Amino acid sequence: MRPACSAEPKPLRRTVRWGAVVGSALAAFVVVSGALAGFSSLTAGVSHTIVTKRIFLGPRSLAAQDLRDASSGAETNKSDSYSYADGTVATTSTAIASGTNNYVEFTMSSARAGGLSVSGAQFNFRLASSGGAQAGNACFWFDVRSGGTVIGTHGSYASPSGCSTGTTLTTFSTAVPEVTSTDSANGLVIRAYVWETGTKVKTVNVDLATLTGSTPYTAFTAYEIQAVDDTSGTPATAPWSLATVDASTYTDTTNWPSATPATTKYLKLTLEPFVPTGAVVTAVSLNNVWHASAAVTNGGTLCYYLETFNGATSLATHGSGASPVACTNSGTVFASDTVSLPEVNDVTKSNNLVIKLYYWLSPLCGGGGNPTCVKSVTDRAVVTYSYYLD
Amino acid sequence: MRRQIFSPGATSNKVIASIALVCAAAAIAGLGTFATFTSSTSTSHTIASGTLSLTSGPTNRLGTGASTIAAGDSMQRAIDLNYAGSISFGSATLTTSASASSALDTDATDGLHIAIDKCSVAWTESGPPYTYTCGGSTSTVLASSPVIGSNVALSNLTLTAGSTDHLRVTVTLPSTAGNTFQNLSSTVGYTFTGVQRAGTSQ
Amino acid sequence: MPILGQNERPGRVVASIAVVAAAGALIALGLCAGFASASPLGRVSGSAHRITVGPHALAAVGALAPGDRAERTLELRYRGRFATVVLKTATKGSSLLRSDSADGIRLAIDRCAKRWTKRRGTKAYECRGKRWSVVKTVPLAGKRALKLNHLSRRAGRTDHLRLSISLPLSAGNPLQGQTARVVYRLTGVAAR
């Protein structure tokens, strides 16, 4: 409150003084809610909500695990022995008893969209003793590894995760709740310590080693792309032939036809990408890495064209007998072809994709002066799906 | 003290007459004690304080959000700021806050970023999704910053009472935003505040 | 010198005059002025004491912002010599500008020996001579009369005054858009 500035009759001054006090007190109360100094003004609040996609657009690649070889004219199942409970087994290199700490280790594919939560993860393992005199049962325990670290241990030699009876293949599905994200499911390593209980210890047949689970948007099965057999005490790496460019390749059973392809002779790839319902598929392509089984002489080349299917329904062909997708005459140098498949443009076609590769020798093979007929060597057959989920 | 002066009657009339003569005589004699004259004069005017008013609109797309955006995506929203009122502004700031929050607004590196520019004329809008072109010249009002900020200074605004700035707000999710930004939702509120210009002589 | 009417009893009139003299300091201010104008003797040269201020209407001050200052010049002319001059301000209607003594309008008055001048394009006045503070900055609120210092108050003179009207920086948003009609009333008490 300001004092009066000049001498005035006292009654007058007293009135002013009280008025000033009340006035300034009121003013202080009112002004506090406004600016501390000066005038200000603000716009009425406006707000909005921003929501991100559930799955960002990105490429997710996986190899065909189901391979049918129809180079003879009839399909034979050449699928990855660990991917399907189909009786096609992989046998441990060595008879293996309990307590050795030797194992068969599987690296799973990295085909899931990253950053998604995973529930209900399970390791599905199907095994049996290879049998014989004084054979026993096949048992196992396992640990789960991510980024080089053990994140879970299941069972033990004393308390196995499962034992099958005799030579009867049995599937054991063990929950692995430590796998909580697709970031760990991708490239997950599972080390299965197998053993055989027989008096005369036998080898173990493995028919299936998969990881299953669900993201919020889809259930999935992840397959192994590399197995390591340590049952001898020395790890022996056995990659799935079609997964990566490496020493592991697939050579078909029969020489390819001469001069023209045959619709009955092909390599058939079946893909299982588990693209979620509602996703928008923006691009799909096949990467085929291959060469001839031997140098193709006398001016000939091994060629192929391909056809895509939605299950059994043909979608499109790429190339033809007159215009192959690619040819090579090399028996050693791999050709790497990336073929865009724009006809695979939705979730259904993506999840039901089947590709047939029709190989043939061009212009012809066999006989005097002609190149020898050859087979094909495939090192990689991987399909990449680019998709997002709003 | 006798009080005749206040009583009616012949004596008081005479007293009053005497006073008049005394006053007159005192004035003639220049005696201030008895004869004090006053003179008054006046002048007047009105004094008015001004008003400061910051309003948005009619162009205002800022209330429209965006859904299913991905890393690398951006959204553009035009908003006009009007400097209504009779006092010009000295400065303006933007305060943003999230009422529903996620890493989209809390991650200052890979989360949402905001940038504001202005066009010398009204933006030409197409869409939705809204995109804008400027038929005049553009200038930067706010360089790219994390979307949440308090009293962030805005540049190159007109701020003069009676004028309008045509702003474009661009909100971007950086391409470095990884999978942890999938399936998130944030509600961001925007408040523009203006403070008056410095005092001046009127 | 008392003038006695005939047939008057001297004691009574003297006593009356004494009463008048004793009360003169308090009541004469108004009393004699009234008598002067109503005097049957007509106007006497003392009643020619007059102060006048110009202009009669000041330019309005508009759109003030906190920190702003508006200046208006006044010329105060004296006819006759004056002992004191006081200023009272009155407002028509109420407004926060006037009633808020903490953050409302403030007033200061200065006097310049010469006319206040203004450079072209500027709004503030300058004094090219001796300068006095007549009223230090006070809130316009308040009904007291302000004594004006350092005026010449001399007959025939003109005092060059400058009113400075300002809104303090502490004025907040409630003081936006307020209007006050202010009357500045200067009253001079003639010197003897």
Say yes or no to pLDDT of A181 above 60.
yes
The CB density around residue C147, as the number of other CB atoms within 10 Å, is 16
CB contact C41 to B (< 8 Å) = yes
Average pLDDT value for residue range A130-152: 97
pLDDT at B37: 84
Which chain A residue shows the shortest CA-CA distance from C149?
A6
Residue A190: pLDDT above 90? Answer: yes
Residue A84: per-residue pLDDT:
97
Interface touch C144/A36, C-beta < 8 Å: no
Q: Tell me: do A282 and A317 sit in the same domain.
A: yes
Do A215 and A274 share a domain, yes or no?
Answer: no
C 161-180 residues inside an 8 A Cβ radius of B = 165-167, 169, 171, 173, 175-180
ipTM over 0.90: no
Which of A208, A239, A270 is the C-terminal boundary of a domain? A239
Strands, E assignment, A198-251 = 204-214, 219-222, 224-229, 236-239, 250-251
Q: How far is C4 from chain A (nearest CA, A)?
A: 37
Domains along the sequence of chain C with CATH:
1-47 (no CATH), 49-190 (2.60.40)
**Residues forming beta bridges with residue A280, ordered by sequence position:** A388
Residue B36 confidence (pLDDT) above 90: no
Q: Is residue A73 part of a domain?
A: no
* CATH number, domain with residue A96: 2.60.120
Distance from CA of C39 to the nearest CA of A (A): 30
pLDDT at residue A20 above 90? no
pLDDT band at C96 (very low <50, low <70, confident <90, very high): confident
Identity of the residue numbered A23:
G
Inter-chain contact B67–A38, Cβ cutoff 8 Å? Answer: no
Taking contacts as CB-CB distances below 8 angstroms, the residues of chain B near A388 are: 70
Q: How far apart are CA A276 and CA A348, in angstroms?
A: 10
> Across A346-360, C14-28, C82-96, C166-180, which has the greatest mean pLDDT?
A346-360
Task: For chain C, list the contacting chains (3+ Cβ pairs, <8 Å).
Answer: A, B
What are the chain A neighbours of B54 within 8 Å (beta carbons)? 41-43
In 10 A of CB A302, how many CB atoms? Answer: 31
- Residue C166 neighbours by CB under 8 Å, 6+ apart: B199, C67, C68, C69, C70, C105, C106, C108, C137
Instruction: Please determine, for residue B67, whether its predicted confidence score (pLDDT) is greater than 70.
Output: yes
Task: Give me the phi and psi of C24, to 5 degrees please.
Answer: -55, -40
Substitution target from B49, B51, B83 for chain C, most C beta carbons within 10 A:
B49
Please give the pLDDT value at position A34. Answer: 35
Compute the Cα dihedral for C94, C99, C105, C110 and give only its sign: positive
Last residue within a domain, chosen from A239, A262, A285:
A239
Would the CB atoms of A46 and B189 count as touching at under 8 Å? Answer: yes
Is residue A24's pLDDT more than 70? no
Q: What is the pLDDT of residues A30-83, one digit of tens each?
A: 332 334 568 999 987 899 999 999 999 999 999 999 999 999 999 999 999 999
**pLDDT value for B18:** 56
Shortest Cα distance, chain C CAs vs residue B92, angstroms: 16
Measure B193 CA to nearest chain C CA, in Å. Answer: 13
C-alpha span between A280 and A53 (Å, rounded): 11
Count the neighbouring beta carbons within 10 Å of the beta carbon of residue C167.
28
> What was the pLDDT predicted at C1?
46
In this predicted structure, the answer to whether residue C153 has a pLDDT above a threshold of 90 is: yes
Tell me whether residues A41 and B193 touch, CB distance under 8 A: yes
Range of the domain at A324: 247-389
The residues with which A175 forms a beta bridge, in sequence order, are A122
Q: Is C117 on the interface with B (CB under 8 A)?
A: no
Q: By CA distance, what is A56's nearest residue in B?
A: B70
pLDDT value at residue C35:
41
Q: Test A47 with B187 for CB contact under 8 angstroms.
A: yes
- A192 lies in a domain? yes
Confidence (pLDDT) at C99: 74
Question: Which chain B residues contact residue C70 at CB under 8 A?
Answer: 47, 201-202
Mean pLDDT, range A183-203, rounded to an integer = 97
Percent of chain C at pLDDT > 70 equals 73
- Of A43, A46, A51, Cβ closest to residue B68: A51
Would you list which residues of chain A are within 8 Å, Cβ to Cβ, of chain B?
Answer: 35, 38-57, 113-116, 183, 216, 388, 390
pLDDT band at C4 (very low <50, low <70, confident <90, very high): very low
pLDDT in tens, C137-150: 998 877 788 999 99
The mean pLDDT of B81-108, rounded to a whole number, is 96
Is A130 part of any domain? yes
For position A16, what pLDDT does the model report?
38
A2-15 pLDDT, tens digit each: 444 444 444 434 44
Stated as kind and residue range, the H or E segment containing A106 is: strand A104-108
Do both A223 and A277 map to the same domain? no
Q: Is B25 a residue whose pLDDT tops 70?
A: no
Domain end (from A239, A255, A283): A239
* Partner chains of B (3+ C-beta pairs under 8 Å): A, C
CB-nearest to C66 from A24, A33, A37 is A37
Domain total of chain A? 2
pLDDT band of residue A138 (cuts 50, 70, 90) is very high
* CB burial readout A140-171, b (16+ within 10 A) else e: bbbbbbbeeeebbebbeeeebbbbbeeeebbe
Domain match, A221 and A266 both: no
Which tens digits make up the pLDDT trace of A288-332? Answer: 999 999 999 999 999 999 999 999 999 999 999 999 999 999 999
Q: Is residue A61 part of a domain?
A: no
Same domain membership, residue A305 and residue A199: no
Rounded Cα gap, residues B188 and B114, in angstroms: 11
Q: Which of B34, B43, B199 sits opposite C66 (nearest CB)?
A: B199
Neighbours of B191 (CB within 10 A): 17
Tell me, yes or no, whether A176 and A227 share the same domain: yes
The nearest alpha carbon in chain B to A49 belongs to B187
B56 Cα to chain C: minimum distance (Å): 19
Domain assignment of residue A266, yes or no: yes
Q: Are A286 and A361 found together in one domain?
A: yes
The verdict on a CB contact (< 8 Å) between C54 and B201 is no
Asked if residue A4 is part of any domain, the answer here is no
From B30's Cα to the closest Cα of chain A, the distance in A is 26
Q: Which pLDDT value is given to residue C94?
A: 61
- Mean pLDDT value across chain A: 91
A338/A220 same-domain check: no
